[in-house]
Amino acid sequence: MNGPQDLGGQMGFGPIAPETNEPYFHAEWEKRALGVTLCAGAMGAWNIDESRHARESLHPADYYASSYYEIWIKALETLLKRHDFVTTRDLAEGDAVDPAATPKRVLKAENVPAALAKGGPCNRPVASPARFVAGQRVRTRNFHPTGHTRLPRYARGKEGVIDAVREGFVFPDSNAHGEGENPRWVYTVVFSAAELWGEGADPTLEVSIDAWESYLEPA
């Protein structure tokens, strides 16, 4: 979707200024925000793509006014309400005052290290052979879905070269909306800076993205 998170190449936001020796967390509450979000996700009611889409779906004014972990918490509230774990009244009271759904599972403290080490692999077998090969020129589709997508807006309708054929991976555009994993081939595609940014782009720069097969067409 063309959400507030899709900032690539947009003007008016100033230069990127990396923080020297940036800490993992800037405040104690951020640690808790990460922990609560991971534990809630472990309940099994939603997947990582639905979680990402919940963050992208925040109103732009709200998104831009929020810090990184504020965005996480606001999206988590959306997910918890959507799946009946909390209600608006619960959040207003700061306590569980309404009946709630029962989670499929609960992540206990002693199981956290193993769960984090396992991660959430999303590679899957694909029945059909890969459509493209390394070295082939391709063009990304120029589409603007209302739902979730992992094709960034700045790379739509652009011509690049397949650098590598990866594996089959869960298709986030359907997985985010409960429409199944529908695994598809993923390719690393390389674009020149001029192709993406036009006149004035640094001619020495290239940008690579990982793109699902359905995002691509032969050039």
What CATH number is associated with residue 214?
2.30.30.50
Residues 100 and 147 in one domain: no
Domain presence at residue 205? yes
| Same domain (yes/no): 145, 107 | no
CB atoms within 10 A of CB 133: 9
pLDDT (average), residues 38-57? 96
What per-residue confidence (pLDDT) applies to 45?
A: 97
Looking at the fold, whether 101 and 170 belong to one and the same domain comes out as no
Q: By residue range, what is the domain housing residue 162? A: 137-218
| In a shared domain, residues 105 and 53 | yes
Mean pLDDT in residue range 200-216: 96
Q: What is the pLDDT of residues 60-99, one digit of tens each?
A: 999 999 999 999 999 999 999 999 999 999 999 999 999 9
Q: Would 22 be classed as within a structural domain?
A: no
Tell me how far the alpha carbon of residue 9 is from its chain's centroid: 18
What span, in angstroms and rounded, lies between the C-alpha atoms of 49 and 182? 13
Domain boundary among 118, 148, 168: 118
How much of the chain, in percent, has pLDDT values that exceed 90?
91
The answer to whether 54 and 78 are in contact (CB under 8 A) is: yes
Q: What is the tally of structural domains in the chain?
A: 2
In a domain, 125, yes or no: no
Position 150 in a domain: yes
Which of 54, 87, 118 is the last residue in one of the domains? Answer: 118
Any domain includes 21 = no
Q: In this structure, are 46 and 107 located in the same domain? A: yes
Across residues 115-121, what is the average pLDDT? 92
In a domain, 4, yes or no: no
Which residue is associated with the tokens 């774990």? 85
Q: Could you read off the pLDDT of 166-189 as tens digits, one per residue? A: 999 999 999 999 999 999 999 999
110 and 35 in a common domain: yes
In a domain, 89, yes or no: yes
Regarding whether 80 and 142 lie in a shared domain, the answer is no
Any idea what the CATH number is for the domain that residue 35 is in? 1.10.472.20
Q: So what's the pLDDT on residue 16?
A: 84
What does the pLDDT read at residue 2? Answer: 85
As a whole number of angstroms, the distance between CA 152 and CA 7 comes to 9
Asked whether residue 78 is assigned to any structural domain, the reply reads: yes
Res. 9: pLDDT tops 80: no
Give me the sheet containing 206-212, strands edge to edge: 206-212, 184-192, 159-169, 137-140, 216-218
Contact 202, 193 (CB under 8 A): yes
